[in-house]
Amino acid sequence: MARGPSCSGVEIAVHIINGRAKAAQIEEVTHTRVEALKLRGVEPALAVILAGDDPASQVYVRRKIASCARTGIRSIEYRLAASAGEEEVLDLVDRLNRDGAIHGILVQLPLPPVISANRVMDAIRPDKDVDGFHPVNVGRLSTGGRGLVPCTPLGIMKLLDGLITDYRGLDAVVIGKSNIVGKPVAMLLLEREATVTITHIETRDLPAIVRRADIVVAAAGAPGLVRGDWVKPGAVVIDVGITRVDVPDGRTRLIGDCRIDEMDHARAVTPVPGGVGPMTIACLLANTLTAAERAADG
């Protein structure tokens, strides 16, 4: 908890949301549910496909696999060479789609440039699409149906739900309109009956739009974009952005989209790192478990 004066001069305690602690709680619940499912003879399993040798992707895949181990989910990693063609990836997806012992399929992005990510995503069975990127899951999200929800937006909502019980009529501003963060998180906020504005690089007078928001979700990948004087006193600020920048001693640092050091007047903010990031992996595991439970229930 840090304290600071609001614009009206009243002291407001800004709460730094601890994404690591919340993610650990979710993993604990997942672990308990995994054990329960194993007692029914089902071992939840996630297949992770990594094509190419992108170093960041290798780190992400390693983390996902380590998290699976913590919760008792079986993970199987498929490494394809950078020269792998689309047919090879599609054949593997097809095999995993038909394998009853596999409940979730994750294709680590980006794929090598010769492979169409859309074609690969479309080939994954929607009920095994634990990233929630398949058009069927995108459609279910926008019609309020029972699909699989993309992990980062799901994690954001779990953080917000810890603070907000009634979203009705609240103004929510989402910065960024990507398919993996901006659009799905906007749909989830809309589902809870917030009044949602989606903004992007071409939006005019972004500060004025952000100033009326009760909830700000920044997913632009523009370090330090959202300044303290853009944020209304008492707003909740979720910083999704992660940009790796070089620092003088030859190391790198992760920087978010929001200057939370200027936001003592906010109600709550997420730090980078340690805010949304850990929630994404926790929600991937939760989605894998959900897929396995649904398969077991028939």
Q: Closer to ligand NAD at the Cβ: 195 or 243?
A: 243
Smallest distance, ligand NAD to C-beta of residue 179, A = 8
Residue 150 binds ligand NAD (CB under 6 A) = no
CA distances to 63, 94, 166, 252 from 47, rounded to whole Å, are: 14, 12, 37, 31
Q: Has 108 been annotated as catalytic? A: yes
Residue 176 binds ligand NAD (CB under 6 A) = yes
Residue 220 binds ligand NAD (CB under 6 A) = yes
Other C-beta atoms closer than 10 Å to the C-beta of 250 total 6
Pick from 95, 200, 253, 294 the residue near ligand NAD by CB under 6 A. Answer: 200
Catalytic residue among 127, 129, 131, 264: 131
Smallest distance, ligand NAD to C-beta of residue 180, A = 5
Region near ligand NAD per CB under 6 A, out of 23-31, 57-65, 89-97, 220-228: 220-228
Residues 266-295 that bind ligand NAD (CB under 6 A): 276-277, 280
Pick from 142, 178, 195, 197 the residue near ligand NAD by CB under 6 A. Answer: 178
Residue 62 binds ligand NAD (CB under 6 A) = no
Q: If phi over 0 gives left and psi between -120 and 50 gives alpha, with beta otherwise, what is residue 38?
A: alpha
Summarize the annotated binding site for NADP(+) as residue ranges: 176-178, 201, 242
